[in-house]
Chain A
Amino acid sequence: MDQGNPLVEETASAVSSLSEEVVRVEGLWKVYGRESKRITSDKYSQMSKDDIRKKTGNIVGLKDVSFSISKGEFFIIMGLSGSGKSTLIRNLIRLIRPTTGRITINGVNITKLSENDLLEFRKKTFGMVFQNYGLLPHLTVLDNAAYGLKVRGLPKGKQYAKAMRFLETVGLSGWEDYYPNELSGGMQQRVGLARALANDPEILLMDEPFSGLDPLIRRQMQDEFIEIQDKLNKTIIFVTHDLSEALKLGDRIAILHDGEIAQIGTPEEIVTVPADSYVQEFVQDASPAKVVTAGSIMVEPEVLLYSWEGPRTALSILKNARRSGAFVVDKKGILLGVTNINRLERIIENPVESQTKRIDASAITKIPSVSEDTILEDLFGIVSANPYPIPVIGENRRLVGVVRTDDIFETISPNRGDQND
């Protein structure tokens, strides 16, 4: 975890600093029924989906949905069945035509495109992965993976070369000549993924891609997909009904309820600050341990020792503060480790070592540290293995705060917000 984090931090900051908008959805409505256009007026936007159906007989699929997605972002659309999430993702590629509203992708308003321009636009911009894979059963795995390229009119040789490369990316080399029905569900979905990736799309649309898989395979696919995404860094729009999947994968999550967006936010925001009772109910079983990060619950260390202070000073600081131990940092603020009264006293009593002006290595125990975006779940192992608070380090291994054991357990205890607040 520690090793991978600087990279994640870097990409995250790159995303936020550039924040180049790729998808922008404004006032999107999808209404099924005779008077669909009329329903999208202001008069109805305050009414609930049920009331509109009872009053007018029109079924609202999406109700005044607006959001935007930046380049490289992993955006999750989450909701239960019937919430409109599949409708929403299909609107983005205009497999379903919106009733009103604007969908701007890379600055192009796709609701206004002609049929031909739309086909071209789909070829260039999108790759899509489906819940039940949407493979063509009469074609081999290789031909399936190459289908998008075939539609684009690439010569056969190039189609296959590219398709092969992405079959390899998803771990399916050697399976090219099989037919989809000879593969397991997880492998079929890999073919679906390879097919989408082979087109080198800017935006990857994924409609519950892992929902049809067994839990174990699902987890494995999620992990592998995270790896693939780390390499390719696409903009991803991912539909799911599975909260833990959403929290695990998403940079941001939009929760849909009855065709409306109930909340958009980072996983942590969604779990810790639910916007309304619906979201609250949705996330109540979610473990904050999976979303809350060390950075958000860390505090400043009450006592901090500096290596140049020397053992005697350190000892008196600790005694005054009634502490048995503390973290030690050097001049640059880099964490060296932890020391305690016993060790300092032993050094002072020892005639040779007592001459030292600094708290040096012999007094310091190295301890594991975490970064700001480490989730609490990953702290459990460290908590159980050592008695100290957990140091949180930022750039260049500088100490930025500590996480106290009590705070961890207070955050994840299920009745937080009831009694503790």
Chain B
Amino acid sequence: MIDFPEIIRIPLRDWIDEIMSWLLNNLETFFDAVGWSILQVMLGFEFVFTHIPWFIFIPLAFLGGWRMLKSLSSGITFALMLFLIGTFGYWEMAMQTLSLVSASVLFSLLIGIPTGILMAQNNRAESIIKPVLDGMQTMPSFVYLIPALMFFGLGRVPSVIATIIYAAPPVIRLTNVGIRTVNPEAVEAAKAFGAKRKQVLWDVQMPLAKPSIMVGVNQTTMMALAMVVIGSMIGAKGLGMEVLLSINRIEVGRGFEAGISIVFLAIIIDRLTFSLSERTSQNNQSHE
């Protein structure tokens, strides 16, 4: 009596499986094309990152920390962190991870910012997309790892896809919120002078929402980094793979080295992207 009646059953799982097999059978060329283009971008990043020698990359990180954060000690810290990654023997893997993260972030922004703009300008779109974003962020990533695997095969591409699904929501949300919270008088002023929707968007809303969007970019980047270990389960090479292997072999020291390398990368990327958002907000604070 207390148990839920077995008679009432909605066969959602069967439907989804059917949809999956239909998609696999009929849209194979589409997925191949998508996979191919993602792969090309991936390879591009990988080519760049693995071809910059460490003795150039480390000074670049130093310069980035020094100039962008306006602090010498940040520059030194960044250089030191990268140097340590090198001493662990993980330089190449770190670069592979970096290119995976870069490609994922690039796609997340390409999809996320226009989606955020759409949400901000259309209440109905917002009410539809919001729950989808909730789903993207809370759905256990293994659930979409498997279909990604089925569509795109093993390797980097499905893990980029999985990373996009996990990492795009913050930039979408913050683009939406950023545009919606732009000083309404500034928007009204532009409209009062006869500005078209497009002009209002590019002259007023986007520039004023930029600090918020940059925070979104920062969040998205951090979440993409957090996905590298899970991504490695479906064949993405890099630091994540190393963590996974050492877990499987119960090599605590090795796992720690790989783990701390990811943390170092995260710190460097976080500080650098955060400084970008800080910088854009400096001129944007209006005197109230």
Contact = CB atoms under 8 A, between A and B. Distances in A.
Interface of A: 90, 93, 95, 119-123, 126-128, 130-138, 147-148, 150-152, 179-181, 183-185, 188, 192, 195, 199, 205
Q: In this complex, which of A120, A130, A199, A205 has the most chain B Cβ atoms within 10 angstroms of its Cβ?
A: A130
Contacts of A122: 191-194
A95 B190 CA distance: 11
B186 interface: yes
A132 B183 contact: yes
Given A136-B204, A137-B284, A183-B287, A131 B185 contact: yes
B189 A134 contact: yes
Contacts of B195: 119, 151
B194 A136 contact: no
B207 interface: yes
Contact of A132 (B185, B190, B192): B185
Interface in B174-208: 183, 185-186, 188-196, 199, 203-204, 207-208
B193 A147 contact: yes
Nearest to A124: B194
A121 B192 CA distance: 10
Contact of B185 (A126, A133, A151, A185): A133
A86 B286 CA distance: 22
A347 B203 CA distance: 80
B186 A119 contact: no
A239 B106 CA distance: 48
A138 B283 contact: yes
Contacts of A135: 186, 189, 286
Given A130-B188, A132-B183, A134-B185, A119 B196 contact: yes
Contacts of B3: none
Contacts of B196: 119
Contacts of B287: 180-181, 183-185, 188
Given A136-B203, A138-B208, A151-B195, A180 B286 contact: yes
Given A137-B284, A138-B208, A181-B283, A126 B190 contact: no
A136 B186 contact: yes
B285 interface: yes
Q: In this complex, which of A122, A130, A137, A152 has the most chain B Cβ atoms within 10 angstroms of its Cβ?
A: A137
B190 A205 contact: no
B134 interface: no
Contacts of B284: 137-138
Interface in B230-288: 283-288
A95 B188 contact: yes
B285 A136 contact: no
A123 B287 CA distance: 27
A179 B284 CA distance: 9
Nearest to B186: A134
Contacts of A130: 185, 188-189
Contacts of A184: 287
Interface of B: 183, 185-186, 188-196, 199, 203-204, 207-208, 210, 283-288
A147 B203 contact: yes
Contact of A179 (B183, B185, B283, B288): B283
B193 A199 contact: yes
A293 B198 CA distance: 52
12 contacts: A121-B194, A122-B192, A122-B194, A130-B188, A132-B286, A132-B288, A136-B189, A136-B203, A137-B284, A138-B207, A180-B286, A185-B287
A192 B189 CA distance: 9
Nearest to A185: B287
B192 A136 contact: no
A104 to B, nearest CB: 19
Nearest to B210: A138
Nearest to B192: A128
A137 B285 contact: yes
A199 B190 CA distance: 13
B102 to A, nearest CB: 27
A120 B194 contact: yes
Given A132-B185, A134-B185, A137-B208, A181 B285 contact: yes
Given A122-B193, A123-B194, A134 B283 contact: no
Nearest to B200: A151
Nearest to A116: B196
A378 B141 CA distance: 79
Contact of A148 (B185, B193, B208, B210): B193
Q: In this complex, which of A133, A195, A205 has the most chain B Cβ atoms within 10 angstroms of its Cβ?
A: A133
A180 B190 CA distance: 16
A68 to B, nearest CB: 22
Nearest to A199: B193
Contacts of B204: 136
Given A134-B189, A136-B207, A137-B208, A151 B194 contact: yes
A180 B284 CA distance: 9
B130 to A, nearest CB: 24
A184 B286 CA distance: 11
Nearest to A90: B188
Given A121-B194, A135-B286, A138-B207, 16 more contacts: A95-B192, A119-B196, A122-B192, A122-B193, A126-B193, A128-B192, A133-B286, A134-B188, A135-B189, A136-B204, A147-B203, A148-B193, A151-B193, A180-B287, A181-B283, A181-B285
Nearest to B199: A151
Contacts of A181: 283, 285-287
Contacts of B194: 119-123, 148, 151-152
A137 B203 contact: no
B286 A93 contact: no
Q: In this complex, which of B191, B192, B210, B284 has the most chain A Cβ atoms within 10 angstroms of its Cβ?
A: B192
Given A95-B188, A122-B193, A151-B199, A137 B288 contact: no
Nearest to B193: A148
